[in-house]
Structure 1
Amino acid sequence: MSIYQSTSQANWSGRNAESLQYWHQAVRCLDSLDLPEESSEKKLAILGYAGEEGVKRNQGRAGTSQGPGAIRKMMGPMAYHLPKAFKIYDLGDILTEGNDMEASHDLLYQTIKGLLSKKAFPVILGGGHDLAYPHGKAVMEHCLNKSEKLGIINLDAHFDIRPKVDGKGHSGSPFLELATSFPKNFEYLCLGIQSAANPPELFEKANQLHVQWMEMEEFTMDNWPQIKDHLDTFCQSINKIYLSIDLDGFSSAVAPGVSAPSPWGFSPELIAKVLEWIAQSGKLISLDVVELNPEYDQDNSTSKLAARCIEYTLRKLLIG
C-alpha cells in the first residue's frame, strides 16, 4: 500500500458556471506531490493528511482519516472570491499504513518543506493534530534558513504538549515535540485553553516552555480588545506565523464532528476576528485545520465550518 493517494477532480464539485464563480472551478488536482514549474508567485497547495493513528494513541475517537475528503466536498460549492490569477493545486492525501504514523510524518515534512521552497502557501487538511509536528518542523526549518523567527498560533482547547507514549508521538504531543526539537526557537501562543481539558501538570509544563495562552473564560468576543493586544504583543517579535486551527476548540454546538467535542468552546464569530487579524498581519506563512471527524458530524456542520475557516482566512490574506 502506498501512503500517497491523489485526489480526483470529482471530489471537487458544485454549480456549473461559464466563468470562474466557485471553488471547484479554481482547483487543479495533481497526481503527485510535486507542484508544476511555473512563474506564478501566488499559489496555494492543498494537502490532506488522512490519518488517525495519532488520535488513537491519544485515546481519542477514530474517524479523522475521513476529514480531508469531507472538507473538499464542502469547499467545492463555495463561492470563489480570490484573485483569478491565483493558482490552487490539490496534491491529494498522505495516508498512514497500519500504525506507521512516523512514515506519514516524514512524507508530510518533506512535502511541506518543498512547497514552501516553491513559494506556495500550504493548507493542510486533517486528520489528527499530530500533523502539527511535521508541519511545524518544515515551517520552522524554512524560516530558520531565511534567518526569520517563526511564531506558532494554535486555536485549541488543549495545549497539546503531552509527553510521548512509549516513545511515540500522538495527537496530544506535537507542540512538545516541536519545543524539544527547537528549544531556542519555540514561540507558541495557544488561544481557547480549557482548564477541564488540561490537568495542572500541563499548565506547569506550559510555564516551563514559556508558552503564552488565553483560557476560554478570557477568550470571548466581549474581551476582543485584550485578545488583540495579546496578538499584537506576541507578533511584534516574530517574522512569520504558522496557524493551526483545532476544530475541537469550537463549541460542540457548532462543531460536533471532532475527536474530542466540548460544549464550552469558542464561537465562529470570535475566530473570524482572530483569523482576520492574523491574515492581515502580513506574516501568515502556513495553515492547517485538524481533528475533523465526519463520522460524528451533523448536517456536515463541522466540515462546513472547517471549509469556511480556510476560505475566510485566504480571502482576508489575499484581498483584505
Structure 2
Amino acid sequence: MSIYQVANPSLWSGRKADTIQYWHHAVTCLSSPEIPVGTQEKKVAILGYQGEEGVRRNQGRIGTAQGPDQVRKMMGPLAYHLPKSIKVYDMGNFRTEGGQMEGTHSVIFATVKKILSQKVFPVIIGGGHDLAFPHGHAVIEYCLEKGEKLGIINLDAHFDLRPTLGGQGHSGSPFFQLGNKYPKDFHYFCIGIQRAANPPQLFEIAKSMKVQWMEAEELTLNNWSQIAEQIDRFCQQVNKIYLSIDMDGFSSAFAPGVSAPSPWGFQPDLAAKVVQMIARSGKLISLDIVELNPAYDIDNSTSRLAARVIEYALRNILSE
C-alpha cells in the first residue's frame, strides 16, 4: 500500500532573517503532490520516498525510510544561493506499507512523469535504491515522448543490476529492470564500482547490457582528466541525463549512515567535481539521492552530506 504524507513545514528550520537567506526561507510546503500551475518561474520539486522494502528484499540494513525527512532537516539551515526567481516546493513523501513496494513505485512513476511534463526539476530523496526503477521509468518515458535519448549516470559502489527475486524488484535490481524494460533505450554509466561488492555475474550482466563503468580505484583527483573525458564522452552521446547518487558510494569515513557501508568509496571532493560537470552540461533533467540510513549515522554526517550534494547540484544547474 502506498501512503501519501503531506510536506511538514517543521522539518525546515534555521536562522531567522527578513529576506530569503537560508533554504528554510525558500521552500514552500504543499498539502498535496501537485505543483501549482499558472506561474512561469523555474521550479524545483522535492519529493521523499520513505521506502525500505526494497532494501529488506536485498538483505540490507533497514532504516532508509527515515532518510527523506532527515535530509530536509539538514537542508533547512543551509545558505540559499539560487536565483530569487526559482520556486522550490516540498511535495511531501510517499511511503510503502505492508510490503507493497510496487504500488508505491506506480505512484512515484506517475508523479515524476507529471513533474517533468510541467517543466519542473525533480529531486527525489530515498529510501532504497529501488527508487531508481520508477524514477528512471518516468524519465525514460518522458524523453521518448519528446524523441530524446536519455543517459543514466549512477554514482555508486554497486551496479544494481541484480536480477529480480521471484519477479519482484529490490534495491539491487533497479537498473536491471530498466535495462530489460527498455533494451534499446538503456544507456547507463556507473561511476564508483567496487569489485569486492559486485560478483563476476554482475560484470557479465553489465557487459551484456552494454553498461559503461569506472571503478573506485580510478576515482582520484590525480586522474580527473580521464574521469572528465569519460563523463564528457557519455554526455555527448545523449540529450538528457538522469543522475542517481547512492550514498554508499562514498567512503564510510564520510557516509557511515548507509545501507551498505564501505571504507573504500569515493570522497566528497571528487564527487563534487563529477556532480558539477554533469550539472553544468545543460542536460541534467532529474536527480535522486538514495540509501541514506539515519539509524546508523554519526552526528548526522551522512544526511548533512546528502543535503550538501543536493544543494551543490541545484546551485550548479540553476545559477544565473
TM range (shorter): over 0.9
2:77 counterpart letter in structure 1: P
Task: State yes or no: 1:16 paired with 2:16.
Answer: yes
SS at match of 2:218: coil
Query: Counterpart of 2:315?
Result: 315
Matches of 2:226 and 2:213, distance apart in 1: 12
Deviates more, 1:6-15 or 1:299-308: 6-15
Q: How does 1:214-253 map onto structure 2 within 5 Å?
A: 214-253=214-253
1:263 counterpart letter in structure 2: P
SS at match of 1:3: strand
**2:126/2:289 contact within 8 Å kept:** yes
Q: RMSD value over aligned CA atoms? A: 0.9
Task: Tell me the CA shift for residue 2 of structure 1.
Answer: 5.8
Gaps spanning 5+ residues in structure 2: where? Answer: none
Task: Tell me the CA shift for residue 149 of structure 1.
Answer: 0.3
2:109 counterpart letter in structure 1: Y
**1:48/1:68 contact within 8 Å kept:** yes
Matches of 2:317 and 2:37, distance apart in 1: 24
Q: How does 1:95-110 map onto structure 2 within 5 Å?
A: 95-110=95-110
Matches of 1:38 and 1:286, distance apart in 2: 22
Q: How does 1:100-139 map onto structure 2 within 5 Å?
A: 100-139=100-139
Matches of 1:145 and 1:85, distance apart in 2: 29
Task: State yes or no: 1:187 paired with 2:187.
Answer: yes
Q: How far does the alpha carbon of each residue in 1:117-167 deviate from its partner, in whole angstroms, 9 at most, with x for none?
A: 001000000100000000000000000000000000000000000000111
Matches of 2:243 and 2:8, distance apart in 1: 27
Query: Counterpart of 2:46?
Result: 46
Matches of 1:86 and 1:205, distance apart in 2: 41
2:104 counterpart letter in structure 1: S
SS at match of 2:288: strand
1:178 counterpart letter in structure 2: L
**Identical aligned residues as a percent:** 66
Gaps spanning 5+ residues in structure 1: where? Answer: none
How many residues in Structure 1 have an aligned counterpart in Structure 2?
320
Query: Counterpart of 1:92?
Result: 92
Matches of 1:109 and 1:301, distance apart in 2: 30
Deviates more, 1:30-39 or 1:108-117: 30-39
Task: Tell me the CA shift for residue 38 of structure 1.
Answer: 2.3
Query: Counterpart of 1:151?
Result: 151
Q: How far does the alpha carbon of each residue in 1:249-292 deviate from its partner, in whole angstroms, 9 at most, with x for none?
A: 00000000000000110000000000110010000000000000
SS at match of 1:217: helix
1:57 counterpart letter in structure 2: R
Matches of 1:2 and 1:194, distance apart in 2: 33
SS at match of 2:68: helix
1:133 counterpart letter in structure 2: F
Q: TM-score with structure 1 length normalisation?
A: 0.99
Task: Tell me the CA shift for residue 240 of structure 1.
Answer: 0.2
Matches of 1:25 and 1:232, distance apart in 2: 36
Q: TM-score with structure 2 length normalisation?
A: 0.99
2:66 counterpart letter in structure 1: Q
